[in-house]
Structure 1
Amino acid sequence: MILRATGKPYHAQCFSCMTCQKSLDGVPFTVDATMQIHCIDCFHEKFAPRCYVCHRAILPIPGEEETIRIIAFDRSYHIDCYRCENCNIQFSTDEGCYPIDDHVLCLQCNRNYLQTMLGHS
């Protein structure tokens, strides 16, 4: 049997993911910018943005098509990983983030950092 995908013919056994070699016959797939074929999981693992904190791909939860990614200082974060670098408190929309010197801090840690930098107790 011959399959057609991306405008090209493939033997069914040859139509596979470039990364994991899983057969893509009858399976959802996508292509990258160079037209290489990938299963959805490998494509996400290879091309999805990575979290600055945990370094894992930022992906939708199974069964969902979208996810929320937080971007600060051109860095991507999972919602759960977006925390004060000093005290580890999770940021909320009420409290916000108070960045300083390329660090992502909560208000209290920002104040403490400034006091230390200015030489005050």
Structure 2
Amino acid sequence: MTCHTALAGKLYYNKAGIPLCEDCYQASLEPCWACGDVIKDHVIRALERAYHPPCFVCTTCRQPIGEQRFAQGEVGEVYCLHDYYRKYAPQCNVCGEMIIPREDGTDSYTVECLGRCFHEDCYRCELCAMLLSPEPNEHGCHPLDGQILCKPCHLSLIPTAQH
């Protein structure tokens, strides 16, 4: 179909319903983005590129990603989720753990205040431990001298003449 060579009595390939001779078939195969060799069997397509399954690996741990979920780094590098989170996830200022999606797949909300990051459940008043709202409202953070405070604790630390 491509080079118009007669296929009668010859070995040919059927690719998407199109008959191809050996040379045209080999020329139609995609190269692996990682190693450059032609992909003759199973192909993994990711980031608009084609890979051999063993060539689609995490930049950090070098383990094959296969069909697992993965993430892309700042300059296109590929990471398994564990290594991506280790490199890019913010660390909670209270518990010290990474702020990453929960096991059930839902996102864990990151609260940022005074240049610090918090899990939504760790975002609490530093004096009374009341859970704070990430919204700038009555139940949100009312910082004072670098402390994360609820409104009542904030007001309790201000001299009464300033209330």
Q: Provide TM-score, normalisation by structure 1.
A: 0.72
Are 1:108 and 2:152 an aligned pair?
A: yes
**Letter of the 1:79 counterpart:** E
Kindly indicate whether the alpha-carbon contact (under 8 Å) linking 2:70 and 2:80 is maintained by their aligned counterparts in 1.
Answer: yes
Q: CA deviation at 1:11?
A: 4.8
Higher helix share: 1
**Letter of the 1:100 counterpart:** L
Q: Find the counterpart in structure 1 of residue 88 from structure 2.
A: 47
**What is the aligned counterpart of 1:96 among 109, 117, 140?**
140
Kindly indicate whether the alpha-carbon contact (under 8 Å) linking 2:108 and 2:119 is maintained by their aligned counterparts in 1.
Answer: no
93-102 or 4-13, which deviates more: 4-13
Are 1:32 and 2:73 an aligned pair?
A: yes
Q: Aligned-pair RMSD on alpha carbons? A: 2.9
Question: Closer, same or farther in 2 for the Cα pair 1:84/1:42, shift >3 Å?
Answer: same
**Letter of the 1:29 counterpart:** F
Deviations 1:5-34 (A, max 9, x none): 546665533432122332112222222112
Q: CA deviation at 1:78?
A: 0.8
Deviations 1:62-109 (A, max 9, x none): 233433222222322111111111232222576332211121112332
**Letter of the 1:21 counterpart:** R
**Letter of the 1:37 counterpart:** V
Q: Find the counterpart in structure 1 of residue 99 from structure 2.
A: 58
Number of equivalent positions: 117
Which ranges of structure 1 fall in alignment gaps of 5 or more residues? none
Take 2:154 and 2:138, find their aligned partners in 1: how far apart are those partners?
16
Q: Provide TM-score, normalisation by structure 2.
A: 0.56
Q: Which has the larger radius of gyration?
A: 2
Kindly indicate whether the alpha-carbon contact (under 8 Å) linking 2:138 and 2:151 is maintained by their aligned counterparts in 1.
Answer: no
Take 1:23 and 1:64, find their aligned partners in 2: how far apart are those partners?
22
**What is the aligned counterpart of 2:57 among 16, 28, 37?**
16
Q: 4+ residue runs of structure 1 moved beyond 6 angstroms?
A: none
Q: CA deviation at 1:49?
A: 2.5
Identical aligned residues as a percent: 32
Instruction: Answer 1 or 2: higher relative contact order, Cα 8 Å, separation at least 6.
Output: 1
Which ranges of structure 2 fall in alignment gaps of 5 or more residues? 1-37
